[in-house]
Amino acid sequence: MSGPFDLTGKVALITGGSRGLGREMALAFAAAGADVAIASRKRESCEATACEIEATGRRALAVGCHVGQWQSLPQLVETVYAHFGRIDVLVNNAGMSPLYPSLDQVSEELWDKVLAVNLKGPFRLSALVAPRMARGEGGSIINVSSIAAIRPSPMETPYAAAKAGLNAITVAFAQAYGPKVRVNAIQAGPFLTDIAKAWTPEIARAVSSRAALRRAGQPSEIVGTALYLASAASSFTTGAVIRVDGGQP
């Protein structure tokens, strides 16, 4: 690939990169010329995606890491720097939203777990990587947010609160580490990833009827926005929260 979307010579670190939207971004970045580090709790899944990337001729690294554990993140960053020597693109994609029967039955454990993975981890990982990007050649941080941040429902309230916080730190980090580091968020709508397999027919119909495009997204449809934000194509875009949701109201 050549042109503004070219990632040749770049290194990307993607959390939650072994499946769903993360996997699509990892493969797309590799196709654009990047080497890719993939992190998730299950290293075996990361290794499978890494093998796919290496089959294309790019380098890949699989790292087992729980991004919700603050103390684990320095080792993740050091492992990637030791292997590749740099991080040019960080994608905070790992997320979770466990089911619960009602708001009054949300436990402290569930609340802490959801906030840890969706907000605390991205904050800490960005705080570790952004200064090193700023001291070097710069870079791009992409936070994967959710339409729930601005359209919360009672059944995903902890997740919505975390993603709203993620939108906030996107703007703050853009201000803190500009001009060499750009920080943006993709505010994703419903996508047909593994999570969608648990949807009831009623949920699936509701998702389709609300969107202007009358459907949920395919995971590959995240790629255009991700490549834009990762590459020089978005050189004048930072502190932005970009909706990729099929036209949710």
Q: Would 124 be classed as within a structural domain?
A: yes
pLDDT category at 57 given cuts 50, 70, 90 is very high
Q: What is the pTM of this model?
A: 0.95
pLDDT category at 1 given cuts 50, 70, 90 is low
Residue with token string 């991700």:
226
Q: Would 248 be classed as within a structural domain?
A: no
pLDDT higher than threshold 90 for residue 135: yes
Task: Point out the least confidently predicted range of 5-9, 189-193, 201-205.
Answer: 201-205
The yes-or-no answer on residue 81 being catalytic is: no
Pure H helices in the chain? 20-31, 43-54, 73-84, 108-115, 121-135, 157-177, 201-210, 223-230
pLDDT higher than threshold 80 for residue 203: no
pLDDT category at 29 given cuts 50, 70, 90 is very high
What's the total number of domains in the chain?
Answer: 1
CATH label of the domain that carries residue 39: 3.40.50.720
pLDDT higher than threshold 90 for residue 14: yes
Q: Would 74 be classed as within a structural domain?
A: yes
Q: Which residues contact 140 (CB under 8 A, 6 or more apart)?
A: 88, 89, 90, 181, 182, 183, 184, 229, 230, 231, 234
Task: Point out the least confidently predicted range of 87-91, 215-219, 224-228.
Answer: 215-219
pLDDT category at 206 given cuts 50, 70, 90 is confident
Q: Would 65 be classed as within a structural domain?
A: yes
pLDDT higher than threshold 80 for residue 158: yes
pLDDT category at 199 given cuts 50, 70, 90 is low
Separation of alpha carbons 227 and 27, rounded Å: 11
What is the structure's pLDDT at 189? 93
Considering the chain, what percentage of its residues have pLDDT values greater than 90? 88
Q: Mean pLDDT throughout 142-159?
A: 95
Q: Would 71 be classed as within a structural domain?
A: yes
Q: Would 5 be classed as within a structural domain?
A: no
Structural domain boundaries, residue 86: 11-243
Q: Mean pLDDT throughout 74-89?
A: 98
CB 228 within 8 A of CB 186: no
The catalytically annotated residue of 81, 100, 159, 177 is 159
Q: Would 1 be classed as within a structural domain?
A: no
Q: Mean pLDDT throughout 11-38?
A: 97
What is the structure's pLDDT at 198? 67
Q: Would 139 be classed as within a structural domain?
A: yes
* pLDDT tens profile 180-198: 999 999 999 999 887 767 6
The order of strands in the sheet holding 241-244 is 60-64, 35-40, 11-15, 89-92, 139-146, 181-188, 241-244
Residue with token string 């070219």:
6
What is the structure's pLDDT at 249? 87
